[in-house]
Amino acid sequence: MQRYGIIGYPLAQTLSPLVHNWGFRRFGLDGDNVYEAWPTPPEDLAAFMTRFRATPILGLSVTLPHKTAILEHVDVVTDLGQAVGAANTLFWRNGSLWADNTDVEGFCRPLVMRKINATAALVLGCGGAARAALVGLKRLGVPRVAVTGRTAAKAAALAREFGLEQVAWENRAGFPATLLVNATPMGMVGKFEGVSPYPVEALQPHCTTYDLVYNPYATCFAREAAAAGAAVVPGMEMFLYQAIEQFRLWTGRVLPDDELRQVLMEALYGSPA
């Protein structure tokens, strides 16, 4: 049996086993392949990676809090992984262990498919999701990109690293964005669910909003943007396409996005797409 899996901590809510085991069944690969969840606290990462190389495990998804630390445990980091400064996918090539970041592809694909060509983008947030979004926006050739965050020092450091504009959090509504990207946890199920990262009165019909939060499906930010007449890209799309890219790296097969979207909609929200 060929093994794949995900490491992170905690992992109780991960959908990755559902996605990839569905993919194996979809292509008749489930008899030889299995995808598992391996909860791994930070202090156990080095020991896990020693076992990973010895087993061997053919592919690995990496989530919080290991996306940066994992770079120390591989042989090669792709250009995208280096640009983001984090990896979420490990795979083997010619006996070497590679680290890549499929979050960038996951972020870009929904924008390309919708033919959204932003002239100015504002990324709200300074964490790992923001880093992937910033690399994606550069990849898409967006001419003007800025970052903002509730912690000014973090936003300033990120802006310096990527050579971008920094916008003060209190002045974010003044930036002439045609694309707003929420890379904060604001709107997520739990204590932030009823919170939006952007002032509702500043939302404009000409703007596209992209919320990287995918649970709930319609966040407060997304609902307010739709009510203002703005186009909305739901966060589940990024998760969907980063998983499709992972599966392609491991198997060479491309999961059908329409079928996988249905699986995720039912698992997350109890209803079809």
The residues annotated with a catalytic role in the active site are 67
Q: Six-digit token pair at 37?
A: 């969840």
Q: Contact, 238 vs 107, CB < 8 A?
A: yes
* Positions of E strands within the chain: 2-8, 33-39, 59-62, 76-77, 89-93, 96-100, 120-124, 144-148, 165-166, 179-182, 208-211, 231-233
- Whether residue 7 contacts residue 66, with contact meaning beta carbons closer than 8 Å, is answered with yes
- Rounded to 10 degrees, what is the CA torsion of 102, 78, 181, 260? -10
Distant-in-sequence, close-in-space partners of 131: CB < 8 Å, separation ≥ 6? 84, 85, 86, 158
- Whose CA is closest to 207, among 179, 248, 227? 179
Task: Please state, in angstroms and rounded to a whole number, the distance separating the CA atoms of residues 54 and 155.
Answer: 40
CB 121 within 8 A of CB 146: yes
- Using alpha carbons only, what angle is made at residue 212 by residues 217 and 190, rounded to the nearest 5 degrees? 60
